Amino acid sequence: MTITAPPRPPAAAPPPARPSSGRRVAGLLLRWWRRLTAMRTAIVLLFLLALAAVPGSLLPQRSLSQNNVNQYFADHPSLAPVLDRLYLFDVFSSPWFAAVYLLLFVSLIGCVLPRGLEHYRAMRAAPPPAPRNLLRLPDAGELPTALPAGQALDVVEEELRVRRFRVVRREGELSAEKGYLKETGNLLFHLSLVALLLGLAGGKLWGYEGSILVTEGQGFCNSFQQYDTYSAGPLVDSGDLSPLCVDLEDFRAEYEDNLTAASFTADIGYGAPGEEGRTTTIGVNDPLRLDGDRVYTTGHGFSPTFTVTRPDGTSLEDVSVPFLPSDQATMASQGALKVPDLRPDGEDQLAVEGFFAPTGLVQGGVLTSVDPRPLAPQVALVAYQGYLGLDSGIPQSVYSLDSAQIDRGSLTEVGSANLSVGEAMTLPDGTTIAFTGYRQFAAFQYSHDPGQLWVLGSSIALLTGLLGMLLLRRERVFARAAAAPGDGGTVLTLASITRGSGENAPRFAALTDDLTNALTARRSAPRSPGPGPEDPPRVS
């Protein structure tokens, strides 16, 4: 008796091993890196960077003109704070602009470097062998000739070398290629873009800017303590500033017949502190350039001069105070004169709030300006006495009075008047305020950018690479020689494929016409031994 054991069920396959958390995180990071370094992502980021720069060209920027920003706040009191919270008055130093900037930088590096290595290997490699079916390529044709196969390929090789192709001969066929400079231009464009970003980043890290208003006859030195507003990169220290002082000797503003500004020029003297300076003339688009430092004129205005005299004879003569323009069309300006120490005891401090009109016209007791040229300068003054609060520790603007001091009653209005040059107003205590004239001031911007030459070179290289991308083309030509059936001649099969702008059919037709003429000429010329199909490959 035989006992048969029941068959055992097949063993279940073990469950697939789950990858560890470290491998899952690594895989996720790798996928993100591949998406970030894709060319499509770089193009999207470049578009976002250009889009993010649009508000910087439409809205005033603090780094260029604080006065224009203040004017925007005055004109749009509800909208301006919202835009300010979005960094739209500091677009190019905002966190969101920096995020797009850095992502684009990383994406370009991760995209261009592998392509550069691949292009280097492709330049060193020989053109690929001819495809099996040449007639399936977009531009292809056959040329019959009575020449042997080797001599026919010699003719093709000569014609292609004249056209600056790289040629390789293989057994019975020929491959040629040119247009590597197109890809070189592509890589040069993207590498130059990376270099441009590096130059801009270097300028932000090691660069600085400062703005200041300077009245004629006055000057400033390159110091953060003297600037009205300044911005500096995180790697800039006050001891790194270039030793330079600038004096404004004369400022001239010229206008067209329709009262639009024609030109602004400033005669300045400049030099290191303690040294004899040099003189030059600068304008809005013609700054002073010194080894990476630039001094621009970004605006202008008027500084009325006053003489304040106390009843006891104490006087403050020809005090010049910059009044900031509130209307660029007529150069109507507003400002303030603060006199905290006219009396020895420090009591009854004096403050004057004023409106300056280069060409004044009083209508209904209200002074307005009708012309930006100083044809009939006038000022409207409101005088206050009391406590200015300059020693309270609370910062104040030098161009306006603290409205809180007026609201609290610390400053009391004691008089007002409209004055022309040479006229004076007398306060109840006998103090006189005389309007003695005006001077012009220029708004200077001192800029130090160590990456400007790097940016210039990168921009030129970028344009060169772009021209190479647009004007050059990548082209391959293949030729195969085979015995013609029956008559013992040769049939040349030619094909061409092109990557780049423009159609290739006319170029291929011109090549075949030249080859036909060359083959005919070679047939009628004395024969010379040439390489045949059995010759070894040659690459050049």
Asked whether residue 68 is assigned to any structural domain, the reply reads yes
Give the per-residue pLDDT at 534.
Answer: 42
Asked whether residue 157 is assigned to any structural domain, the reply reads yes
Lowest mean pLDDT among 22-26, 174-178, 426-430, 528-532: 528-532
Give the per-residue pLDDT at 368.
Answer: 92
**CA distances for 143 relative to 15, 167, 511, angstroms:** 64, 19, 11
Give the per-residue pLDDT at 487.
Answer: 67
Residue type for 348, please? D
Could you give the angle at which helices 180-206 and 95-124 cross, rounded to 10 degrees? 150
Residue identified by tokens 């690594």 is 26
Please tell me the distance from the alpha carbon of residue 304 to that of residue 433, in angstroms, as a whole number.
Answer: 12
Q: Provide the token pair at 57.
A: 């060209």
Tell whether 84 and 170 lie within a shared domain.
Answer: no
Residue 140 CB coordination number (10 Å): 18
In terms of phi and psi (left: phi > 0; alpha: psi -120 to 50; beta: otherwise), the region of 84 is alpha
Q: Output 50 or 270, whichever has higher pLDDT.
A: 270
How does pLDDT run across 436-463, given as a tens digit for each residue? Answer: 999 999 999 999 988 888 899 999 999 9
Please tell me the distance from the alpha carbon of residue 205 to that of residue 203, in angstroms, as a whole number.
Answer: 6
Residues in Cβ contact with 504 at an 8 Å cutoff, skipping those fewer than 6 apart: 138, 139, 475, 496, 497, 498
Cβ–Cβ < 8 Å for 233, 205:
yes
Please tell me the distance from the alpha carbon of residue 188 to that of residue 182, in angstroms, as a whole number.
Answer: 10
Tell whether 425 and 363 lie within a shared domain.
Answer: yes
Residue type for 437, please? G
Tell whether 353 and 487 lie within a shared domain.
Answer: no
Asked whether residue 33 is assigned to any structural domain, the reply reads no
Nearest to 222 by CA among 239, 205, 234: 239
Asked whether residue 2 carries a pLDDT value surpassing 60, the answer given is no
- Give the mean model confidence (pLDDT) for residues 109-127: 84
Tell whether 380 and 233 lie within a shared domain.
Answer: yes
The domain of 155 spans 126-178+473-539
Residue identified by tokens 């600085």 is 208
Q: Provide the token pair at 124.
A: 């060193």
Give the sign of the dihedral formed by CA 413, CA 416, CA 422, CA 426: negative
Residue identified by tokens 């196969």 is 149
Asked whether residue 48 carries a pLDDT value surpassing 90, the answer given is no
Supply the DSSP symbol for 163. T
End-to-end CA distance of the chain: 86
Give the per-residue pLDDT at 535.
Answer: 45
**CA distances for 341 relative to 135, 231, 259, 467, angstroms:** 98, 33, 41, 67
Asked whether residue 1 carries a pLDDT value surpassing 70, the answer given is no
Give the per-residue pLDDT at 6.
Answer: 61
Q: Output 339 or 528, whichever has higher pLDDT.
A: 339
Residue 370 CB coordination number (10 Å): 16
Tell whether 212 and 270 lie within a shared domain.
Answer: yes
Q: Provide the token pair at 493.
A: 């099969």
Give the per-residue pLDDT at 19.
Answer: 65
Give the end of a domain, one of 120, 142, 162: 120
Tell whether 232 and 368 lie within a shared domain.
Answer: yes
Q: pLDDT band at 91, cuts 50/70/90?
A: confident
Give the per-residue pLDDT at 270.
Answer: 94
Tell whether 133 and 64 lie within a shared domain.
Answer: no
Asked whether residue 351 is assigned to any structural domain, the reply reads yes
How does pLDDT run across 128-143, given as a tens digit for each residue? Answer: 888 888 888 888 888 8
Please tell me the distance from the alpha carbon of residue 453 to that of residue 205, in angstroms, as a whole number.
Answer: 15
Asked whether residue 30 is assigned to any structural domain, the reply reads no
Percent of the chain with pLDDT over 90: 28
Give the sign of the dihedral formed by CA 499, CA 504, CA 510, CA 511: positive
Tell whether 141 and 232 lie within a shared domain.
Answer: no
Q: Provide the token pair at 147.
A: 């020449």
Give the per-residue pLDDT at 537.
Answer: 44
> Residue 530's domain is classified under what CATH number?
3.30.310.80
Q: pLDDT band at 530, cuts 50/70/90?
A: very low
Give the sign of the dihedral formed by CA 517, CA 523, CA 525, CA 530: positive
SS3 content of the chain, % helix, strand, coil (to 5): 35, 35, 35
Residue identified by tokens 């610390």 is 410
Give the per-residue pLDDT at 502.
Answer: 53
- Give the mean model confidence (pLDDT) for residues 194-220: 88
Please tell me the distance from the alpha carbon of residue 433 to that of residue 330, in angstroms, as a whole number.
Answer: 25
Q: Output 296 or 104, whichever has higher pLDDT.
A: 296
Give the per-residue pLDDT at 69.
Answer: 85
How does pLDDT run across 266-286, given as a tens digit for each residue? Answer: 999 999 988 888 999 999 889
Asked whether residue 305 is assigned to any structural domain, the reply reads yes
Cβ–Cβ < 8 Å for 405, 386:
yes
How does pLDDT run across 371-422, given as a tens digit for each residue? Answer: 999 999 999 999 999 888 777 767 778 888 888 888 888 889 999 999 999 9
Asked whether residue 90 is assigned to any structural domain, the reply reads yes
Over the chain, what is the mean pLDDT?
A: 85
Q: DSSP 3-state assignment of 483?
A: strand
Q: What is the pTM of this model?
A: 0.65
Q: Provide the token pair at 386.
A: 């009391």
**CA distances for 323 relative to 253, 394, 411, angstroms:** 16, 22, 21
- Give the DSSP letter string of 356-368: EETBEEEETTEEE
Tell whether 134 and 261 lie within a shared domain.
Answer: no
Asked whether residue 381 is assigned to any structural domain, the reply reads yes
Lowest mean pLDDT among 45-59, 168-182, 337-351, 524-538: 524-538
**Number of domains, the chain:** 3
Asked whether residue 339 carries a pLDDT value surpassing 90, the answer given is no
Tell whether 224 and 333 lie within a shared domain.
Answer: yes
Q: pLDDT band at 539, cuts 50/70/90?
A: very low
Tell whether 335 and 395 lie within a shared domain.
Answer: yes
Asked whether residue 3 carries a pLDDT value surpassing 70, the answer given is no
Give the per-residue pLDDT at 365.
Answer: 85
Give the per-residue pLDDT at 525.
Answer: 62
Tell whether 486 and 355 lie within a shared domain.
Answer: no
Give the per-residue pLDDT at 533.
Answer: 43
Q: Measured at the alpha carbon of residue 418, what is the angle toward residues 413 and 423, in degrees to the nearest 5?
A: 110
